[in-house]
Structure 1
Amino acid sequence: MNVGSPTGAQRQFPSGAAYAEALQHTQLCFQHPELKGARPELTKLGLPRAISGAFASVFSLTSATSGQRYAVKCFTRHVPDQERRYQAISSRLAKLDSAELSQPWKLGFEYLPDAIRVGKDLYPVLKMEWIEAVTLSSWLDDNHADPFAVDRLADRFEALTRDLSAHEIAHGDLQHGNLLVASDDTFRLVDYDGMYVPALAGLGGTERGHRNYQSPMRGNDDFGAALDRFSAWVIFLSLKAIAADPALWSRLHEPSGEFLLLTEGDFKNPAGSTGLHTLLTHPDRTVSGLADQMRSFASQPLDLLPPLAQAVPKQRTSATMATSASYVPAAAPSQGGLPSWMPGHLPSTPAQTPDAPATNSPGGFHARTPLDVVAAVLWPLAVVAAILMVVAGVPKAVFGPGIPLVFAVVTTAFTRSRRAERGQSRAALATLTNQLAQVDEPVKAAAKLRKDRAKFDAAEADRNAAYPRAQDKLTAQYHAALKEAETRKVRKQRDMDKKLDGLSEDLRKALAKALADKQSAYVRDQLGRRLIAQSPPHGIGPTLAARLAAHGVRTAADFTGYRSVQNSPYNSTGAVLVLPGGRVISVYGIGEAKAIALDVWRKAVVASATVRQPTAISPGERQSIEQGIVLRRAQLTDQRKAVETEADASRAQARKRLEEGQERLARENTAAGDRARQQRQEFSRRTVALQQNDALHATLTAALETARIQQRRLSYARYVRFLYVGC
């Protein structure tokens, strides 16, 4: 599975199907001269055959120029620091001298950036040497019944781990699918994607390795030279076990199973593991010893495990010896309850509990003292004195004959208390009791450690799950901001486009309005020039004209019509004149008939003016209106461009918020990872201390029980026996 979190947006890669489609035309899709025109291995349907993995698809291609066959890995998912990693790995492996390696396990590979075209874009590939070999599990399917061959392969695997360890290289995913066995029964190591080399120190891993070969203690921040230690022991145990007992392959392995003998569940729950129990109880000491080590390794951090290359003596044994003496693991507990090889590989930890005391509790009395001689002489004298007193008839009321015996008992008790052995025994018991009180009770300490570890693991699981969710949330917010900016831009541009499209109609309306205004002004001017007094309507004399003028009605422009009104007092119909503002006036002498005459006269003047009114505006007036429309078009065009600029600014702000959020999340996740790494180291120290504490507790308990037994050997009766027998 992939881990690691880039701080920026991840590049999107094509799918395996897209690569397969592109590889139908290698002359067009490849840039590299040796791959250009290469022939891909095809399926029955005539399509390039792909071997798909977690984040890549591998194709077999035969070069048209050299005839060399290559495995070409095409990436389908983002790999953090991809180019840097492959260049560092390629550089490190290139420096290895093949003559100094135990076997030709390393394969040549080359990272080619921008090597394959899929659609319009170029993508990187890995060009690797193709090897004719079978996976380790397939080899075991065919050869597990040959103990000598399997044991020899175990030795070669151990030698391969020596090569890696000597050059500070870790593969990162040692498992049956990445260990190929060639025709000469030597290993070829493939899939270097998660490999660690010293140049990559400080980076995180890109994968966690196959779950059936990895320690339950392996975390996302484990990326160093110790990556392979647990999986190396898993594979070595499996090979040695099958070499010792070929029937174990059929008994513990499943056909096509993604494991050898043990699975992830066996490591997570050793107590409930049937497979591990089978190996632990196996009569062969190699198998049971290695299984016992694996059981303890499952709860140890990777950096505390011993490298297989250092912990296993270099050997080359026959198959017959492999069942009994090829490897005798030092798995029996030694000091501190740890396997004998482990103390040299553990980091020093400050001891919080006292060391086991070198107590010297005597197991009996030794060498009589003068007081012992006195006590020994006193008893016979006391017995004789008591007999004489009985014979003499001393009264019993005052203890009589018992006084000498009581005196002998008290004296003997006193001399016993003065023995050095009694003081040594009491001091040893007091020391052991005091030291045992200072040591944590193992069961409670182990329960607390498990509880703290479970709480930490749960918190880490939540954190690891929350980090991609937080990234997804940032990405969702970013896309929402982009969508909002685009929606706002489209809406504003649509409004601008609508206004731009309407400018032609606006021009037509403006020209029509200008003409209408010009015609209306002409008509008003003509109406204002026609005086009622100079050309009076029919029936309007100078007197009525004067009255009309007195009310402000001098020309045809001063009124717009008339309105009939009912004169109630006279029961007749009169009229009022309507002025341009809508106000009405009543002029004495102007009745309905004269009002009609005035209205007819005015309409005639309007008709005459309308006939003579202009039919077009002047070129200057038209040019002025058109210039206004041109100016409006330029303003709208500028506003439309401003909308695009505003959208670009919104997108840039959204991008900046995304990158700042991703950088903040990355910093927080890195800091949390550092804290988690420190906490794991603390758990490691506590685990070692707990083992030491457990062993010390057991040692002190056993020593205390021994001291109590030895104290019982210093009883009163044994002391009396010592006085006369000497032991």
Structure 2
Amino acid sequence: MSDSAGRSARLPSKTEYAEAVQDLRTAFTDPSLADGVLDLDRRGMPRTSSGRNAVVFRLLGSRGPCAVRCMTRAPADGARRYGALSRYLETHSCPALTPATWVERGVLVSGVWWPVVLMPWVPGDTLDIAVSRRIGDPRALRHLAANWRVAIRQLRRSHIGHGDLQHGNVLVDGDLRLQLVDLDGVWVPGPHEWPRADAGHPDYQHPGQGPELRGVALDSFPASVIFVSILAVAADPALWDLHTQENLVFRAADFARPGRTDIWRRLKKSPDPRVASMARSLAADCSRAAEMASGPEELVAQLSP
């Protein structure tokens, strides 16, 4: 939040942001944004995507297509968090993670400056849409799951924790390549700690997770939830009837009752024995400490030869 906005001020709504960016020259001070072109829909309104914490606008500027992420919910220590990430990525590569820059005086709304996060525009579908479009194509879904393992390995090798792995924060292009976005909960190694932005999406998080969880351990359980979900649907497309706009096939209630809800019973009978085995491991992890949860690599390693 900008100093001019005040710490207790209410963040603008999605509608207020949309009205503000109608005139780019007054909304932005960055010349590459102020002189850009806003992506509009057929009605002439700004084309947006939105999640739990922000609304995103697509601009065509001198630096190419970019995503302008306007917060509807303030991230904890946003300026410091994104600053640490930018510095860390100067010397550490993580291809799966979309770089992002915090701009303190980002967008002017009703006379008040609010911060924005700038990212390169990443084309593609969110993970849930990518999966839904490939129901009945097990080969494509297994390919997607394999690429997910690669993305998680890249995070681990870079010692970065995303902090909120869930379908809405994963973009998939036509070649099934993955990019991770929405970095409000990101964690990078450094001399200073800060609180997590939030606890992450409940339909992906470990039931025993607490605020003390740090580092790559932030992502182990949700990464496995996504990995098992994709492979489970590849083996049994009927499981997609458990999907809602909030999840893939698991819900928070399933993690609270490991092995005792419908999804666990159906996974136990999966046509793919590897899925049944990994589901058992995932259920067991629900009853262990969150920092002990297995990531996709450990789930695969635990499979019988």
Would you call these one fold, judging by a TM-score over 0.5? yes
SS across alignment from 1:132: coil
Aligned to 1:80: 76
Instruction: Check conservation: 2:96, 2:151, Cα contact below 8 A.
Output: yes
Aligned to 1:182: 173
Instruction: Quote the Cα distance in structure 2 between the aligned partners of 1:49 and 1:150.
Output: 29
State how 1:181-580 maps to structure 2 within 5 Å.
181-199=172-190, 202-243=193-234, 245=235, 248-254=236-242, 256-310=244-298, 312-313=300-301, 328-329=303-304
Shift of 1:296: 0.7
State how 1:93-242 maps to structure 2 within 5 Å.
93-97=89-93, 104-199=95-190, 202-242=193-233
Per-residue CA deviations over 1:134-171 (Å, capped at 9, x if unaligned) read: 12221222223222222222122112111111221111
What stretches of structure 1 of length at least 5 have no aligned partner?
Answer: 1-7, 314-326, 331-727
Instruction: Quote the Cα distance in structure 1 between the aligned partners of 2:247 and 2:304.
Output: 24
Letter in 2 for 1:88: A
Instruction: Quote the Cα distance in structure 2 between the aligned partners of 1:255 and 1:239.
Output: 11
SS across alignment from 2:160: coil
SS across alignment from 2:197: coil
Letter in 1 for 2:90: A
Aligned to 1:484: none
Letter in 2 for 1:198: P
Shift of 1:53: 2.9
Shift of 1:38: 2.1
Per-residue CA deviations over 1:481-538 (Å, capped at 9, x if unaligned) read: xxxxxxxxxxxxxxxxxxxxxxxxxxxxxxxxxxxxxxxxxxxxxxxxxxxxxxxxxx
Aligned to 1:71: 67
Shift of 1:187: 0.8
Per-residue CA deviations over 1:534-561 (Å, capped at 9, x if unaligned) read: xxxxxxxxxxxxxxxxxxxxxxxxxxxx
SS across alignment from 1:117: strand
State how 1:650-689 maps to structure 2 within 5 Å.
none
Aligned to 1:487: none
Aligned to 2:3: none
Per-residue CA deviations over 1:184-224 (Å, capped at 9, x if unaligned) read: 21111111111111137532101111111111111233333
Larger strand percent = 2
Instruction: Check conservation: 1:203, 1:223, Cα contact below 8 A.
Output: no
Aligned to 1:24: 22
Instruction: Quote the Cα distance in structure 2 between the aligned partners of 1:25 and 1:203.
Output: 36
Instruction: Check conservation: 2:233, 2:240, Cα contact below 8 A.
Output: no
Instruction: Quote the Cα distance in structure 1 between the aligned partners of 2:240 and 2:50.
Output: 28
Instruction: Quote the Cα distance in structure 2 between the aligned partners of 1:125 and 1:71.
Output: 10
Instruction: Quote the Cα distance in structure 2 between the aligned partners of 1:62 and 1:95.
Output: 28
TM-score where L is the length of structure 1? 0.39
Shift of 1:234: 0.8
What stretches of structure 2 of length at least 5 have no aligned partner?
Answer: 1-5
Instruction: Quote the Cα distance in structure 1 between the aligned partners of 2:72 and 2:229.
Output: 33
Shift of 1:284: 3.2
Per-residue CA deviations over 1:255-282 (Å, capped at 9, x if unaligned) read: 6542222221211122430111111233
SS across alignment from 2:145: helix
Instruction: Quote the Cα distance in structure 1 between the aligned partners of 2:112 and 2:7.
Output: 17
**Distance change in 2, residues 1:78/1:131 (3 Å):** closer
Instruction: Quote the Cα distance in structure 1 between the aligned partners of 2:152 and 2:206.
Output: 17
Letter in 1 for 2:269: T
**Distance change in 2, residues 1:75/1:137 (3 Å):** closer
**Distance change in 2, residues 1:147/1:271 (3 Å):** closer
Per-residue CA deviations over 1:341-368 (Å, capped at 9, x if unaligned) read: xxxxxxxxxxxxxxxxxxxxxxxxxxxx
SS across alignment from 1:143: coil
Instruction: Check conservation: 2:243, 2:249, Cα contact below 8 A.
Output: no
**Distance change in 2, residues 1:86/1:55 (3 Å):** same
Instruction: Quote the Cα distance in structure 1 between the aligned partners of 2:108 and 2:248.
Output: 40
Shift of 1:36: 0.7
SS across alignment from 2:32: coil
**Distance change in 2, residues 1:200/1:55 (3 Å):** farther
**Distance change in 2, residues 1:109/1:172 (3 Å):** same
Instruction: Check conservation: 2:268, 2:279, Cα contact below 8 A.
Output: yes
Task: Please say if 1:89 is aligned against 2:85.
Answer: yes
Instruction: Quote the Cα distance in structure 2 between the aligned partners of 1:200 and 1:11.
Output: 31
Aligned to 1:15: 13
Instruction: Check conservation: 1:249, 1:261, Cα contact below 8 A.
Output: no
Per-residue CA deviations over 1:571-593 (Å, capped at 9, x if unaligned) read: xxxxxxxxxxxxxxxxxxxxxxx
Instruction: Check conservation: 1:83, 1:111, Cα contact below 8 A.
Output: yes
**Distance change in 2, residues 1:54/1:148 (3 Å):** closer
Shift of 1:23: 0.6
Instruction: Check conservation: 1:172, 1:227, Cα contact below 8 A.
Output: yes
Alignment RMSD (CA, Å): 2.4
Instruction: Quote the Cα distance in structure 2 between the aligned partners of 1:282 and 1:200.
Output: 46
Letter in 1 for 2:86: S
Correspondence for 2:53 among 32, 35, 55: 55
Instruction: Check conservation: 1:205, 1:220, Cα contact below 8 A.
Output: yes
Q: Which moved more, 1:39-48 or 1:134-143?
A: 39-48
Instruction: Quote the Cα distance in structure 2 between the aligned partners of 1:236 and 1:175.
Output: 11
Instruction: Quote the Cα distance in structure 2 between the aligned partners of 1:53 and 1:310.
Output: 30
Letter in 1 for 2:263: G
Q: Which has the larger radius of gyration?
A: 1
Per-residue CA deviations over 1:613-637 (Å, capped at 9, x if unaligned) read: xxxxxxxxxxxxxxxxxxxxxxxxx
Instruction: Check conservation: 2:161, 2:186, Cα contact below 8 A.
Output: yes
Instruction: Quote the Cα distance in structure 1 between the aligned partners of 2:78 and 2:66.
Output: 21
Shift of 1:329: 4.6
Letter in 2 for 1:107: T
SS across alignment from 2:279: helix
SS across alignment from 2:118: strand
Letter in 1 for 2:135: H
Instruction: Quote the Cα distance in structure 2 between the aligned partners of 1:251 and 1:308.
Output: 20
Name which structure has the greater RCO, CA cutoff 8 Å, separation 6+: 2
Shift of 1:328: 2.7
Identity percentage of aligned residues:
32
Instruction: Quote the Cα distance in structure 1 between the aligned partners of 2:129 and 2:51.
Output: 19
Instruction: Quote the Cα distance in structure 2 between the aligned partners of 1:125 and 1:40.
Output: 16
Instruction: Quote the Cα distance in structure 2 between the aligned partners of 1:206 and 1:232.
Output: 18
